[in-house]
Each structure stands twice: as structure tokens, then as C-alpha cells.
Structure 1
């Protein structure tokens, strides 16, 4: 478990102090994948680097597995950091060393015996799917392969926590997906807590259990990924979600609609039921779909539909009430009643 309490980080600049992290309190549960989302400058990377004290917090506490890192110095802090692996956006591999030597470097820094290190390198490269790349150099690898080496290196000393700083931002979509699936596999098989910094909601949607949204150094929203996707509270979160689930319909089409335009959302098992079909049949209204999708988040369906509904005003009202009674969330976008 990671417990962050009242954490702040200030930076000295020529124009004065700038606050990168502003009084953040978070709890990240053991064995979960936790996403931290925000635009550039939101403070998310500063927060991540404070978690293993690469950045010394200005105030507040960081506790990992019951150990308060902010109270540690010297050798005790170094030993604690061995249990916190880190993956970077730009890989940071040593170009003059082979893949195997890059992974072994982390073990050498921890003063592991050579024979033990050699065996561990083989295990790690097999785990990340690079057993055949042990003797090649980073320049011979693709971006995805380089990141797999970075993951193997981060896992070298059996960490309980893995920190990922924009680990997929430099990768193409297909490679990103393969890396995310590898991280999820590592999380489930090794029960490693993963904290993932990103500005891409697709990344969060793919593998995260819970998430936090940051703006101006503060956490402005946090919770289960499914709950936040289905019911975002802040404008910024809604903006991020719209990048994944878009309801953009050309204005001329909306202008041509003579009925009411409604946005209908179904959560969980209800998303797979024929609620809209039943509504149209039972209440003598006509439905015209403008946009629709069923997203799967944490393997649970979230149905999102935009539709025009036409009919007598009383029938439309009763139809909306019926859908809400069946578990739908209905928002009237344009009232044609």
C-alpha cells in the first residue's frame, strides 16, 4: 500500500516559488493498478517522483508498505528504494551495454552475487518476451522492445511497487496495447502495485482499477475507473473522457431534428438489455439513433447513446421515466416537446 498524506512540492525559480504538488492526499491499495491523469504541468510526474524520493517533498508524508520514506536517509532510504521499481518514457538504457547487461546493471547496483544475477536476468527477459535478445544492443531494438527491457530492469530486485512515468507515450497504439497487457500480466501474477502516470484516458481505461485526476498540483477527482467514466464530476474529467467516448454529432444533423434529443447511459448489466427497444414499443414514440456505443471498462459494459425521440409530449415524458426506472441515466440535450 502507498499512503500519501498532505504532500506538497515547491520549486525555486527566478520569479519565486512554484508549487508542483499542492497538499495531495491519496491511498493506493496493495496490488492495484492506479492511474494518475492530467495535462502537462498538472503535477503528476512531480508527485510520482516524490513517491520514491527522487524528488524530496517540501512537506507531507510518503508511506510505502508501512515504511515512511520521508523519514529515511542514506543507506536505509537506498534499501527502501530497491522495493520501488520505475519505468520511464524514454527508456534510459545504456547504449554501450547489451540487453542482458542493462538488466544486470540494476542487480549489480543492489550488490547481488554474479551467479544469482545471471539467473535472474534470464528469468526477467523470459517474462517480458525478450529471451532471444539478451546479447543485442539497445540500438537494435524497437521502441516496444526497449520498454520491455526497461520493465525487466525495473523488476530486477523484486519490487512491491512499480512506478510508470508516461511509460507508453513514446509508443505507437499497437505497441502501447502490448505493453499495457504486459503490465497487467505482471500486476496480476506478481501482485505488484502499479502507479501509472499518463495524459491518455485510453491507457487508464485499458488497465487501471482506480484513478485520480490532477490539475494545478491538486487532485480534483478520484475513484474507481468505471465510476468516473460513468459519472465524472469535474469539467476536466469530462474533457478527458470525451477524448475516449465522443458524442460529437454534426450541427446540421442536430438542427434537422424536430423531436427531443436525449443522451442515454446504461451501467453494468443493464447496458446489454433492450431497454430502448422496449421503450419505443410500449410508449408509442419513435426513436432515431444519432450516435451509440458500448464501452467495456474493467470488463463491465457502459452503454452510451444519443438519440432523437418523437411522439406526443406525455408519451415522451413517460418513455424517459420508464428508461430511468430501468436503470438508465437520461439527459435531455434538446427539448422538442
Structure 2
């Protein structure tokens, strides 16, 4: 659907995006995460040529946007909706007129606009706010207007530049659920820029992790949460799944402390109970949690294993075989 080929964007001596390559599939919600200055927003703006790449190509549905004239690019942008962090609504216009703006720009007739705008407002849950002005709306309602405006011309792609960063957690959840509903019902490909891993966990199918203009890790969201490979990805995962133990829990321990990750079916099986039945060991649970990512369970458990060296090692081998993911965090004190 979106093919990013060797894209680089430079501003004089600064390289904001550095030789980025990946493909975004049709109908998926694709996340791009990174801290400020990572290059993620610049990359997003390259996708609809608000920023022209210094090098490389952007292909959408097989069409190379970088080879088009400015006039042709403006036409192609009608197929690419965009949502901004700060809404960018016209304060002097009503909700209806803010949404109608995109339709007027596309040359739609008055009759088409009168029919289409109410459909869009119903889709985003704002049918009763048609004649209100932006100053009369909450932050979440303003973003819903922005989403309706972005969907006005039936785009194939929806670009979201930090669309929830200015919202409180409860409103963020509602906007993410709306984007997920739009993706599922309309089949629109959504590209979502964020610096919050919780946003990625809630709605994204795949994610690219960016640092210093480069993509340092890319994969299925579930896989990156289960086994992040880079230090940056691990850091982002820890912001959602904190596994830090206080020093007092590590002091005076009687056995090794292990961290076990349960994926898929193993997250719903009684692996620890079966281990304790089979081997002469006891377990002191220090930390545990389970999350559901794309409806797939992902569990983490940190335990102190107490018993003879032989029994503990047999237990570790058994759990490792069952889960494939066991890490010894600390040996015997």
C-alpha cells in the first residue's frame, strides 16, 4: 500500500530522516514511535509530500508521488487524510463548515456537501454539534471534527501526527477506539505517529521504532512487546510494562530470581503450578502482570525460586521448555 524506499530528508547540515525503508500494508494501523527529534513527524509529512524527500521514493498504491508535479501531488493528497495534534480548526467557522472545507476544496457541489457532512459528523459522534464553533467544543470533540474533515473525501490513507498528545488519558482512549473503528469499518490504512507506547499497544498492528532519523526496529506490535531487540524498544516497552523491582525485594533472597514471559497459549496455562507440583521447589512471586495485545495474551512473572540447586535448575529447564522465554535476573545472594 505505502512503499517507503530509501527516503532521506535533509535540512542543510541536519539529516532528519536517514535512508528509511519499509512497507505499510493495506488496511493496517501502522505506528511510528520515537522521542522528540527522532524524525517521525518529518517522515510522516514525507508520505503526502508536505515535505519532499531529499532522496528516495514514496509509492502509494504503486504510484510514485515523488515523480509527480505539484499539481498532480495536490490531486493525490485528496486520497490522503491528515489529522494534527493541535486540530487546526478555523475558529470563525462552525463544525459543519470546518468539515465542509475539504469538500469545497475538492470541488464538490453544494448538494454533495449538504449530504456528506452530516454523514461524517454521525460517524464521529458529533451530529448534535453541527452548528457549534470550535471554542464551544472539548479537546476530544475538536479532534473528532479533525477526523471527520480528514475523512471527507474518502481517503485511502489516514495520517495521524501525534493525534492524541494534547488529550487527557480518557479522551485519548475514546479517540483511539474511534480510529480503530474507522480502520475496521472502512478499511482505511492508518499511519499513527506517537511517542507513547501505550497508544501503540492499544491500536497498532505493526510499529517502527525511530531514533536519530533511522528505523532501529520494526515488527508486529505483539512481537516487540514480547521480545524487544534494541535498547530503545526495550525502553519504550518498559514505559507500559514496568518490571523494575525495588532493592528491598532483592536483599536477603534465598534463591535465584527469574523473569518469565508467557506468550499466546502459555499465558493462559498453569505452567508455574505444574512446575511446583513436579519439583521440590517453592516460588515467591515478586511481580506479575498480563496484557492483551490485539486480543493475544502476553504475561510476565518475576519469581524467587527456592529449593536445592538441582531442583531449582530442573524447574528452570522445565519452565524454559514450556515458555521459551526465561531470564535469570539474579543468582543466590
Structure-2 separation of matches of 1:306 and 1:327: 14
Structure-2 separation of matches of 1:239 and 1:201: 10
SS in 2 for 1:256: coil
Aligned to 2:107: 111
1:267–1:328 CA contact under 8 A, matched in 2: no
SS in 1 for 2:93: coil
Task: Select 1:122's aligned residue among 115, 118, 122.
Answer: 118
Aligned to 1:2: 2
Matched, 1:135 2:140: no
| Corresponding pairs, count | 333
- Unaligned runs of at least 5 residues, structure 1: none
Worse-superposed segment, 236-245 or 69-78? 69-78
SS in 2 for 1:243: helix
Structure-2 separation of matches of 1:302 and 1:161: 30
SS in 2 for 1:50: helix
Structure-2 separation of matches of 1:46 and 1:200: 17
Aligned to 1:271: 267
Aligned to 2:141: 145
Structure-2 separation of matches of 1:220 and 1:27: 15
Task: Select 1:311's aligned residue among 307, 311, 316.
Answer: 307
Aligned to 2:88: 92
1:74: Cα distance to partner? 2.8
Structure-2 separation of matches of 1:54 and 1:279: 57
- TM-score, structure 1 length as denominator? 0.98
Structure-2 separation of matches of 1:107 and 1:256: 68
Matched, 1:193 2:179: no
Aligned to 2:153: 157
1:328: Cα distance to partner? 4.1
CA-to-aligned-CA distance 1:248-280 (integer Å, 9 cap, x gap): 221011113221100001100110111011111
TM superposition outliers: structure 1 runs of 4+ over 3 Å: none
1:327: Cα distance to partner? 2.2
Please list, as runs of the form range in 1=range in 2, the aligned pairs for 1:1-337 lying within 5 A after superposition. Answer: 1-12=1-12, 17-336=13-332
State the superposition RMSD in angstroms: 0.8
Structure-1 separation of matches of 2:99 and 2:61: 25
SS in 1 for 2:240: coil
SS in 2 for 1:221: strand
Worse-superposed segment, 37-46 or 66-75? 66-75
